[in-house]
Amino acid sequence: MRVCSIVGARPQFVKAAVVSRKIRDVGEETLVHTGQHYDEEMSDVFFEELDIPEPEYNLGVASDTHGRQTAAMITRLEPVLESVQPDAILLYGDTNSTLAGAIVGSKRDATVAHVEAGLRSGNREMPEEINRILTDHASELCFAPSEAAVGNLAAEGISEGVFWTGDVMYDALLEARDRSSEASSILSELGLREGEFVLATVHRQRNTDVRSNLASIVDALVDAPLPVVFPAHPRTVDRLQAYGLWERATEELEVIEPQGYLDFVRLLDAAERVATDSGGVQKEAFFLETRCVTLREETEWEETVDAGWNQLVGSDPARIRAALAADWYPNSHPRPYGDGLASRRIVSLLQRELDVADPDRRL
Ligand code: UD1
Ligand code: UDP
């Protein structure tokens, strides 16, 4: 089988790392990087640490408005797919790179498969929610990380080609956890002790591009009962500077560069709790049993809230302060995101479904 995998943003590198390896065990893969994330610490470091093969194509699209960025990806992707002629096009998550792949891929004679299908926040103001919905509807195969995601797809009339595989980020984390505690010296580099700091990440459009929301988050983090370590996304650095919040943030919080995956996992594992608006970090916190304060009003990962590991507080400073200060304890630890074998399952299903779609393909 010939698979073309399309990635472009940080969380997609983490997800693709585990799946790419499995694809290359049984077939051919062409990896396309759209260029959406391009800084060394947002891209290269993941390829090096996670041993992801060098992409055969980099579309070099970089940052722009949603429309222009997605359009440039579509324009540059089409000739690549024309030349590669893959049997399947593999898409991850909910970024503009995912949507571009869905639009070009669904009009070609190839099977479009979506990893992390069926997630819904219910908030259509999030660009990611639109990307998720459109990508699922353009895909022939939907690999859902949870049972709830399968239900979300069914509610939208998508039931054929849907498989509950588990979550590939769980596979990635299981591989990284032990490695990170051996390989990472980030705690000593930053002078931190296990359980004695809060980790924070912020990058959602609603939190970065509305000054009052970003200011409220900084105010609340400054009041946290423990020191706050804040690996800042470039978008957030840019907004903190533009809004005149940079000095306060850097004086009161430990603002550091975005971290490589192993250092980040080490920080997340060791943190007393985490405050974040990231999708992936909410889940990883749950896997690592670190309590999570989510700086959003809703989540695609409801199971983490139901199990008591995650509190949704939006950007309201009083609610953030309360969730960071209060003693709250999770009541259970279910495993709604599979068994750590999602990537293996996805590759087997892909092979099987391609054989069914075109039995002559293997001849
Ligand atoms: C994107 C995804 C989001 C995902 C996130 C992961 C979309 C719509 N959003 O958001 O779903 O959660 O990636 O991190 O696809 N920038 C740099 N260097 C980089 C990359 C970005 O400086 O390497 C800055 C640029 O100023 C850019 C801004 O960050 O304008 C936003 O980058 P972009 O990729 O558009 O969106 P993210 O916020 O990263
Ligand atoms: N991550 C990282 N370094 C950081 C912040 C996050 O390696 O400084 C990893 C994190 O462990 C997770 C992924 O990046 O695997 C999440 O990416 P992000 O929060 O950017 O996007 P989202 O998951 O919200 O789409």
pLDDT by residue (tens digit) across 307-362? 999 999 999 999 999 999 999 889 789 999 999 999 999 999 999 999 888 777 65
Q: Which of 10, 13, 116, 203 to mutate to test the pocket of ligand 1 (most atoms within 8 A of CB)?
A: 203
203 is catalytic: yes
Count other Cβ atoms within 10 Å, centred on residue 202. Answer: 25
- One domain for residues 25 and 162: yes
295 and 215 assigned to the same domain:
yes
Residues 245 and 279 in one domain: yes
- Amino acid 50 reads L
Average of pLDDT values for 70-88?
A: 98
Same domain for 31 and 111?
A: yes
Instruction: Report the atom number in ligand 1 closest to the C-alpha of 64.
Output: 30
What is the residue range of 192's domain? 172-325
Q: What is the pTM of this model?
A: 0.97
What is the pLDDT at residue 361? 66
Could you give the CA distance from residue 139 to residue 346 in angstroms, rounded to a whole number?
Answer: 14
Domain membership flag for residue 233? yes
Do 296 and 252 share a domain, yes or no?
yes
Considering the domain boundaries, does residue 332 fall inside one?
no
Does the residue 330 lie in any domain? no
Ligand number with the minimum distance to the CA of 96: 1
Is 176 found in the same domain as 76? no
SS3 content of the chain, % helix, strand, coil (to 5): 50, 15, 35
Output the domain CATH number for residue 180: 3.40.50.2000
**Is residue 179 located within the same domain as residue 315?**
yes
Average pLDDT over residues 35-49: 98
Number of folded domains that form the chain: 2
Residue of 45, 175, 278 to test ligand 2 pocket, by largest number of atoms within 8 Å of CB: 278
Q: Coil, strand, or helix at residue 92?
A: strand
In a domain, 19, yes or no: yes
Looking at the fold, whether 246 and 210 belong to one and the same domain comes out as yes
For residue 78, which amino acid is it? Answer: E
Residue 174 · residue 194 · CB < 8 Å: no
Distance CA 140, CA 237 (A): 39
Q: How far is the CA of 67 from the centre of ligand 2 (A)?
A: 24
Domain co-membership, 207 together with 297: yes
For residue 231, give Cα distances in angstroms to 86, 276, 358: 38, 11, 47
Residue 79 belongs to a domain: yes
The reply to whether 234 and 318 lie within a common domain is yes
Residues 145 and 275 in one domain: no
Number of the ligand 2 atom closest to the C-alpha atom of 257: 8
- Assess if residue 95 is contained within a domain: yes
Q: Atom of ligand 2 at shortest distance to CA of 94?
A: 25
pLDDT of residue 362: 53
Give tens-digit pLDDT for 205-218: 999 999 999 999 99
Domain membership of residue 266 (yes or no) is yes
6/142 same-domain check? yes
Q: Is 331 domain-assigned?
A: no
Distance between Cα 222 and ligand 2 center (Å): 22
